[in-house]
Chain A
Amino acid sequence: MTATTNIEPVKPNSAFVGLLAVLLAMVSRPSGLVGLILVAFHVVLAIVSPAIVPYDFRELSAQIILNAPSSEHWFGTDNLGRDVFTRTMLGGRQALLVTTISTIFAITWGGLLGVLLGLVGGRLDELLMRLVDAFLALPWILVLLLIVVTVGSGPGVLIPTLGFFYGIPVIRMARAATQDVVALDFVTAARARGESRSTIVWRELVPNVLDVLLVEGAMRWSWMLLAFSSLSFLGFGVTPPTADWGLMISNARSFMSFAPWTVLAPVVALSSLIIGINMSADALAKALGIDRAQKAPV
């Protein structure tokens, strides 16, 4: 017997109301609330920080190198006499810019291709999935490093590269989600009616895989941040003297024993952002009713 016994009460249905309901569900949990606050804080900070920083981030000064935190320099100074507080506030800008755009790019192209493959199946699907598997076997950091080294770094290279490579696992996930939906009768009904393929993709499939894609998008964003800051850490991402947390941590390593503030500030900043994104992604998944932790990171 499949007749539903739990019939939901009738409420007004619109996209806006749906969105609000999801947000409310997210903040009703403490983890979701904390996560959203952290993310919002960092995004706002990234946008307004240039206007509110006390010092110029490039300003060098031989006299005040590696000073401990004081009333003039709240987070102290680094090995070149630059104000750590300023650099920490600005440190997330490049990272957030690059990763946000790359994530949107990755989800869009990976999602669309995945949905198409999930619908069409057949030889093309098999071939492309073999390719996807092969690509996934490549160590991502090696590929990224190689490209950056030969082509150059900077947002112009990083955005398409990150977007392309991180879109590949999205294909797999979108395809799997689509295959679950395609098996349902309403898709068969649309095909039997003679609806065009693009109608089926946009009207029937995408709305039903959107929530999975959104959660995946949130997770991808945090992996991208990880990759970006790792690249900067290794010296292959941002070019100095740009302020970036990964770069700051890398520089500060040599002075960790006697000037820990140079390392702690960027560590806390970076970690809080990534944790915030993850908590939000978790809360989003729960609010949308998806169980996510089952899947491997790739």
Chain B
Amino acid sequence: MREPLVQVKNLSIGFTSQAGLVMPILRNIDLAIGEGETIGLVGESGCGKSTLALAMMGYLKSGLSVLEGESLFRGRNVFDMDGRALEDIRGGELALIPQNAGQSLTPTSRIGRQIDESVKLHTKLAKEQRRERVIELLLQVRLPQPEELLQRYPHELSGGQQQRVAIAMALAGEPDVLLLDEPTTGLDVTTQAHILELLRDLAADTGTAMVYVSHDLGAIARVSHRIAVMYAGELVLEGPARRVLKQPAHPYARGLLLSIPRLKEAVLPTSMPGRPPPPGGAGHGCAFADRCPMAEQRCRDERPVLEPTAAQEIVRCHFHERVEQLPPPEPPKRPDRSSLDEADTILRLDNVAISYAKPGIVDQILGRQPKVAATVDKIDLTIRRGETVGLVGESGSGKSTILRAIAGLWPPQSGTITYEEAESLNTSVDERAKDLLRRIQLIFQNPDASLNPRHTVAEILAQPLKLYFGLSGDELRERSVALLERVRLRADYLERLPRQLSGGEKQRVAVARAFAAEPELVLCDEVTSALDVSVQAAVLDLLTQLQADQRTTYVFVSHDLAVVRAFADRVAVLYQGRFCEIGPSKNVYRFPSHPYTEVLLGAVLEPDPDARPALAAEDVVDLFPPAKGCPFQRRCPRRIGDICDNETPPWRPTELGHAIRCHIPLAELGGMQEKSAHAVAAKLGPTEGIRAE
């Protein structure tokens, strides 16, 4: 085996707390990366993966220091190198593609200049040649019209374009190793898929090695030859990608894979109990022992070391041979859905249009409405009591806008929203009766922002209880404790402040707060999108339980198709604020689909080494809906002509009980889509179909 390009040897990194204790962020990491290979570094928040990637460049965030070990690049320890030597290799032989490209590009400097800076630092080209090289790089990352792009500033580009620029900048020095720190976080599903394909192709063409850091196993599966799994600052498993994804040899990796929802089945993912230990809190034994289904006393007393296995992996577990034999877990019980058909209608939206555009001064004087197309338009939806309806779409799809209209935060401009066929919800919050407000509750995406940092959990729960039920004193406290129990938090959490809770725990408190009102309709706005995947599984499970107990109706908004598949009974797909398709989830995920659904499904990344995305549409972002016709007209790969631009497509019902809004007749659409799927399979080799046949 040739000398590895990057070799991490027994590296531990940590910081010293105010009390003088040493708190490790990384413990005894051993990792080697050879030429041309791509390693996926996966783990959840706080596992130290970003710290490790940056350490490979010799970079430590302020306050951190190397406790032991070293990180070698071409045999030299990066922590022993001086400033000049580091400047040489950084951006040159070892380049970083950062997480948030938008914030990592200097706002006052033009794109061309920033890339040129990298070229100048790491090559010996003259000025004219450098310009050509910059254009070449922009073309390599598939950015159109590079000459024009050179003159732009970072804020003038979309998220996907910014990320491509960051990639181009990293490639400028013709690096041997690329470090990628969550490069697709925050990008749309389709954009993400395109960027990953680009990275794959680049790696193959240039022979560059890659270290791909991410929490998203789907993305990792797509690009990696080998996968390294991290937990609580330790490397717990490393091996060939296929092996790790199909037959993980560590119980944490196994648990992680099981907690990811899959498109194939409508099964809720299984969650792992507990939460990872804080830095310095791992104790003497295995860091995972508290949560492990096969933990024994030895695990708690003795920390396991990394051992090689027969299948070319290394594992940190005393009993790794037994992992294969663990029985498949009981999937969480789905509540009985048979009674749904007879349930009464709880919410109805009729031809609802919502617009954010406010008339400007001139318009106000002339008394007319602004001529911009409404953000959300022509929404018809009927929801029965006790069902879960998923609203799926990318950014700009208007899904959150609809929720806010239902909640009364931004009433619709036209159309009606009716509650229980009796009360109108076209009102704003100020105009609604307290009891109506009580019955409809909202849960938000970001638990850090949705809880008042100055209130204790007790105060947070007390607010709805006081407002809607007038409770106080002992009764209030009893009810609060009961609520906490329902979300599986101990009573002593009442005195805690949000900053003393983990992300998952905060979200549970948010759920408890919503359910304190004893609502009938709960609006969930991307409630799991900001959580780690294993935590997401737990929250979904919790929501399912609560629904079973109380027959709550959910409107569940998400951009994650797999989550919606697992959680929702019916799904509506939105594009630019208009419906494309709506129906029972299992049918929406089959052919025929609306062309946009087809694009979305094609872009989904499953943690499956054999799955391949089918990229149909271009990676272009639509900023606003078209004035008339089908909302997808500008990107649709199956556009048939002017009719798509001018006429609103009709609803076409299928025999499977759902409807698609398209000008193409269904039989034809279904036929075309199946042919494409087969063509993809034929070109790329056998794949396991994501769709149920």
Q: Which residues of A contact B (CB under 8 A)?
A: 1-10, 12-13, 184-186, 188-195, 203-204, 207-208
Q: Are A2 and B448 in contact (CB under 8 A)?
A: yes
Q: Are A193 and B463 in contact (CB under 8 A)?
A: yes
Q: What are 10 A-B contacts with C-beta separation under 8 Å?
A: A3-B502, A4-B45, A4-B503, A5-B279, A7-B499, A7-B501, A184-B449, A184-B450, A189-B444, A193-B517
User: Which one of B185, B450, B496 lies within 8 Å of A189 (CB-CB)?
Assistant: B450
* Interface of chain B residues 451 through 465 with chain A (CB within 8 A): 451-456, 463-464
Q: Are A3 and B532 in contact (CB under 8 A)?
A: yes
Q: Does B500 contact A (CB under 8 A)?
A: yes
What does the 1/0 interface line of B24-65 toward A look like (CB < 8 Å)? 000000000000000000001110000000000000000000
User: CA separation between A208 and B454, bound complex, in Å?
Assistant: 7
Q: Would A3 and B503 be within 8 Å (CB), given that A188-B444, A189-B442, A194-B434 are in contact?
A: yes
Q: Are B409 and A188 in contact (CB under 8 A)?
A: yes
Q: Are B503 and A185 in contact (CB under 8 A)?
A: no
CB neighbours (8 Å) of B432 from chain A are 194
Q: Are B467 and A194 in contact (CB under 8 A)?
A: yes
Q: Does B437 contact A (CB under 8 A)?
A: yes
Q: Which residues of B contact A (CB under 8 A)?
A: 44-46, 182, 185, 215, 278-279, 407-409, 429, 432, 434, 437-438, 441-442, 444-456, 463-464, 467, 495-497, 499-504, 513, 517, 530-532, 535
User: CA separation between A194 and B436, bound complex, in Å?
Assistant: 10
User: CA separation between A10 and B44, bound complex, in Å?
Assistant: 23
User: CA separation between A13 and B278, bound complex, in Å?
Assistant: 21
User: CA separation between A1 and B48, bound complex, in Å?
Assistant: 13
- Shortest C-beta distance, B500 to chain A (Å), equals 5
Residue of A nearest to B440 (CB): A192
CB neighbours (8 Å) of A204 from chain B are 452
CB neighbours (8 Å) of A188 from chain B are 409, 444
Q: Would A195 and B444 be within 8 Å (CB), given that A1-B530, A3-B530 are in contact?
A: no
User: CA separation between A190 and B454, bound complex, in Å?
Assistant: 14
Q: Are B442 and A192 in contact (CB under 8 A)?
A: yes
- Shortest C-beta distance, A194 to chain B (Å), equals 4
Q: Would A192 and B502 be within 8 Å (CB), given that A2-B446, A13-B456, A186-B451 are in contact?
A: no
- Shortest C-beta distance, A19 to chain B (Å), equals 14
User: CA separation between A162 and B598, bound complex, in Å?
Assistant: 67
Given contacts A1-B185, A5-B45, A207-B454, 18 further A-B contacts (CB under 8 A): A1-B44, A3-B44, A3-B46, A4-B448, A5-B46, A5-B279, A6-B278, A10-B500, A185-B445, A185-B446, A188-B444, A191-B429, A192-B408, A194-B432, A194-B437, A203-B452, A208-B452, A208-B453
CB neighbours (8 Å) of A193 from chain B are 437, 441, 463-464, 467, 517
Q: Are A3 and B535 in contact (CB under 8 A)?
A: yes
User: CA separation between A208 and B500, bound complex, in Å?
Assistant: 17
CB neighbours (8 Å) of B500 from chain A are 7-10
Q: Are A13 and B497 in contact (CB under 8 A)?
A: yes
- Shortest C-beta distance, B498 to chain A (Å), equals 9
CB neighbours (8 Å) of A13 from chain B are 456, 495-497
Q: Are A185 and B45 in contact (CB under 8 A)?
A: no
CB neighbours (8 Å) of B504 from chain A are 3
Q: Would A186 and B449 be within 8 Å (CB), given that A3-B45, A13-B495 are in contact?
A: yes
Residue of A nearest to B506 (CB): A4
Q: Would A8 and B499 be within 8 Å (CB), given that A186-B451, A194-B434 are in contact?
A: yes
User: CA separation between A10 and B448, bound complex, in Å?
Assistant: 18
CB neighbours (8 Å) of B455 from chain A are 203, 207
Q: Are A2 and B530 in contact (CB under 8 A)?
A: yes
User: CA separation between A1 and B530, bound complex, in Å?
Assistant: 6
Q: What are the 9 A-B residue pairs with the smallest beta carbon separation, nearest first?
A: A3-B503, A5-B46, A194-B437, A185-B450, A207-B454, A3-B45, A185-B449, A185-B444, A1-B45
User: CA separation between A5 and B46, bound complex, in Å?
Assistant: 5
Most B C-beta atoms less than 10 A away, residue of A10, A188, A189: A189
Q: Are A190 and B446 in contact (CB under 8 A)?
A: no
User: CA separation between A236 and B442, bound complex, in Å?
Assistant: 59
CB neighbours (8 Å) of A203 from chain B are 452, 455, 463
User: CA separation between A13 and B459, bound complex, in Å?
Assistant: 12
User: CA separation between A192 and B428, bound complex, in Å?
Assistant: 9
Residue of A nearest to B216 (CB): A1
Residue of A nearest to B445 (CB): A185
Q: Would A192 and B407 be within 8 Å (CB), given that A186-B451, A208-B452 are in contact?
A: yes
- Shortest C-beta distance, B39 to chain A (Å), equals 20
Q: Are B408 and A7 in contact (CB under 8 A)?
A: no
Residue of B nearest to A206 (CB): B454
User: CA separation between A242 and B512, bound complex, in Å?
Assistant: 63
User: CA separation between A1 and B532, bound complex, in Å?
Assistant: 7
- Shortest C-beta distance, A84 to chain B (Å), equals 48
- Shortest C-beta distance, B45 to chain A (Å), equals 4
- Shortest C-beta distance, A217 to chain B (Å), equals 18
CB neighbours (8 Å) of B409 from chain A are 188, 191-192
User: CA separation between A296 and B44, bound complex, in Å?
Assistant: 42
Q: Are B449 and A195 in contact (CB under 8 A)?
A: no
CB neighbours (8 Å) of A10 from chain B are 496, 500
Q: Are A1 and B444 in contact (CB under 8 A)?
A: no
Residue of B nearest to A195 (CB): B467
- Shortest C-beta distance, A266 to chain B (Å), equals 43
User: CA separation between A208 and B449, bound complex, in Å?
Assistant: 12
Q: Are B531 and A3 in contact (CB under 8 A)?
A: yes
Q: Are B463 and A2 in contact (CB under 8 A)?
A: no
- Shortest C-beta distance, A175 to chain B (Å), equals 19
CB neighbours (8 Å) of B464 from chain A are 193
- Shortest C-beta distance, A133 to chain B (Å), equals 19
User: CA separation between A191 and B517, bound complex, in Å?
Assistant: 15
Residue of A nearest to B433 (CB): A194
User: CA separation between A208 and B453, bound complex, in Å?
Assistant: 8
CB neighbours (8 Å) of A195 from chain B are 463, 467
- Shortest C-beta distance, A7 to chain B (Å), equals 6
Q: Would A186 and B452 be within 8 Å (CB), given that A1-B530, A3-B46 are in contact?
A: yes
Q: Are A1 and B448 in contact (CB under 8 A)?
A: no
User: CA separation between A5 and B445, bound complex, in Å?
Assistant: 18
User: CA separation between A9 and B278, bound complex, in Å?
Assistant: 10
User: CA separation between A204 and B455, bound complex, in Å?
Assistant: 9
Q: Would A7 and B429 be within 8 Å (CB), given that A13-B497, A189-B442 are in contact?
A: no
